[in-house]
Amino acid sequence: MDEQILPFTNISHPAPHRHRVSLGALVFGIAGAPLAWNVELLAGAALAGHQCYPRDIPLSLPRWTGTWEFLLTLSLAAIVLGLSAGGVAWHSWGRVRDEMSGSGGEGRTRFLALSGMLCSGLFLLALLFTLAVVWLVPLCST
């Protein structure tokens, strides 16, 4: 029963396949990778900044020995979360990709799933660039 007519009208619902994908999956697909990138960027910058410049004088070495490993782990965890969000968006899109059936504005769920794939893909690129920063930029340098 994909074709649903709204009560008291002759108009079909703009998202007839909305029951195929949960709202949580759509939100995670759209917001998971950007959230992972934000956490990685903010937490990594705060930690690295404090490790190398805790007071008035910059340090040549970080205060803690495991700082680089923690930043690497944080980056890899963020990439895994971004890949998970992209996978959920891809799966959601696969379930509703045939929602658009002609004109009439149908396809809200399909649009949200496609937006999740695009957001996840773009932010995965940002996550990879941030991982490259961990590898290429020295942690502390004076």
Amino acid at 21: V
Find tokens 């979360």 and name the residue: 81
Residue ranges of domains in the chain: 22-136
CB 123 within 8 A of CB 115: no
CB 29 within 8 A of CB 88: yes
Give the distance between the most distant pair of CA atoms in the chain. 72
Instruction: State the pTM of this model.
Output: 0.78
> What are the pLDDT digits (tens) for 126-141?
999 999 998 888 777 6
Q: Which of 5, 22, 29 is nearest to 85 (CA)?
A: 29
- Under the phi-then-psi rule, with left for phi > 0, alpha for psi from -120 to 50, and beta for the rest, what region is 104? left
How does the average pLDDT of the chain come out, rounded?
81
Sign for the CA dihedral angle at 124, 90, 108, 18 comes to negative
- Counting residues of the chain whose pLDDT is more than 90, the rounded percentage is 39
What's the CA gap between 65 and 52, in Å, rounded?
12
What's the CA gap between 8 and 110, in Å, rounded?
25
> What are the pLDDT digits (tens) for 19-43?
568 888 888 999 999 999 999 999 9
> What are the pLDDT digits (tens) for 76-100?
999 999 999 999 999 988 877 776 6
DSSP letter (8 states) at residue 6? P
**pLDDT range class, residue 103, cuts 50, 70, 90:** very low
Amino acid at 103: S
- Collapsing DSSP to helix, strand or coil, 12 comes out as strand
